[in-house]
Structure 1
């Protein structure tokens, strides 16, 4: 007997994976990703880990990369931008603890997708837009607050300075095999980041002497 239209038993009307069940599949994907890496992750492996059918996965995610991107974006991390009242405090809060550079699970998952970023242009674009983008927005808010508090010199190029902290830590982790710690991140902040952006007091001589550009302007006048 043919099921009546709208009964929900045919493939075209099966409900989408959502809610708690969706999160279970995303968590299982992260587990497989951390254990096997992106290259060896398959829909079969995720289905087995999530105790779901492969058809269930494909009803929600048409490709492996789409499933992985959604899984990365589902990782639990702070939803509020830190606001400790200082750039140092905000950077420590943002990069240490859950969702930060000391979060072992997140770093394991991040390391597993490095090859995909280099080989798959579509995956790389989605990763940057959907995973890195929100983190960059959070970082921008932290730096904008620091600028408004007068903690950052006007001549600092933030495009150079802002990526320096994660760049240094990830270099030591992925290339040198040194796991990031809160203590090391604080060292980088205190010895490299804060000195690089600090507002420097003007020397008495420079404060009293007009710049060469001003002097030339006066001559032209």
Structure 2
């Protein structure tokens, strides 16, 4: 038997196939019922193949949520305005209103509270980078002079996602790009001292967000 350290690494297209298979099963069964046996079967691999790359279910699932093609990603936009950056980053193909994004988070919610190993990996690898992306958006707005420098980023940076996810998982209400836009316009912008945009500044989900100047956003 080949020693583990000499076995070829699982990488490239084969790794992507396994990550995508993990996401499919996660959406179907949830974290608690997902097994490495099922992932191996779905990806047409052996459990030994999985263990060459991941040390268990927690590391595989978190890696899949961070890197799989189907997983929600955060691509920070720089449009020149806080509203434009938030819309561009959190709406659209990989936004908070995407069905898979809510589905994946729902699939792991019980594990976050019941599995300390998974929770630690999930918060470090999946949640923390997204919160940092949000903080980056607000820091840029501060640097532009668009919002006050004393803004409490610890509170405001995760607020958009928190409100949207509360709507989805606690209230059981639908979430789409229009909901995300309404939260941005009616909650986030007023919270940071910016006036909500007029009717001409709203965007259609899936289109490039329009931007408003600081003077327009700050006007009463």
1:123-142 to 2 correspondences below 5 Å: 123-142=118-137
3-state secondary structure, aligned to 2:89: helix
Ranked by relative contact order (alpha carbons within 8 Å, sequence separation 6 or more), the top structure is: 2
3-state secondary structure, aligned to 1:113: helix
Q: Which runs of 5+ in 2 are unaligned?
A: 196-220
Q: State the match for 1:57 in structure 2.
A: 50
Question: What do you get for the CA RMSD once the two structures are aligned?
Answer: 1.9
1:56-81 Cα distance to aligned partner (Å, 9 max, x none):
11222121111111111103456642
1:9-31 Cα distance to aligned partner (Å, 9 max, x none):
73543312111001100000011
Question: Which of 35, 38, 41 pairs up with 2:34?
Answer: 41
Alpha carbons 1:26, 1:70 under 8 Å: kept? yes
3-state secondary structure, aligned to 1:198: coil
1:16-62 Cα distance to aligned partner (Å, 9 max, x none):
21110011000000110110000000001101110111221122212
Residue 103 in 1 paired to residue 95 in 2? no
Once the two structures are overlaid, the 10-residue window that deviates more, 72-81 or 36-45, is: 72-81
Report the Cα distance in structure 2 between the residues aligned to 1:26 and 1:78, rounded to whole angstroms.
Answer: 14
Alpha carbons 1:152, 1:198 under 8 Å: kept? yes
Report the Cα distance in structure 2 between the residues aligned to 1:55 and 1:80, rounded to whole angstroms.
Answer: 34
Alpha carbons 1:34, 1:108 under 8 Å: kept? yes
Q: State the match for 1:10 in structure 2.
A: 2
Alpha carbons 1:116, 1:124 under 8 Å: kept? yes
Residue 194 in 1 paired to residue 189 in 2? yes
Structure number with greater Rg is: 1
1:124-164 Cα distance to aligned partner (Å, 9 max, x none):
11111111122122112111111112221344322222222
Aligned length in residues: 192
Q: Which runs of 5+ in 1 are unaligned?
A: 1-8, 201-221
The 3 A distance-change label for structure 1 pair 86 and 101 is: same
Q: TM-score, normalised by structure 2?
A: 0.81
Alpha carbons 2:97, 2:179 under 8 Å: kept? no
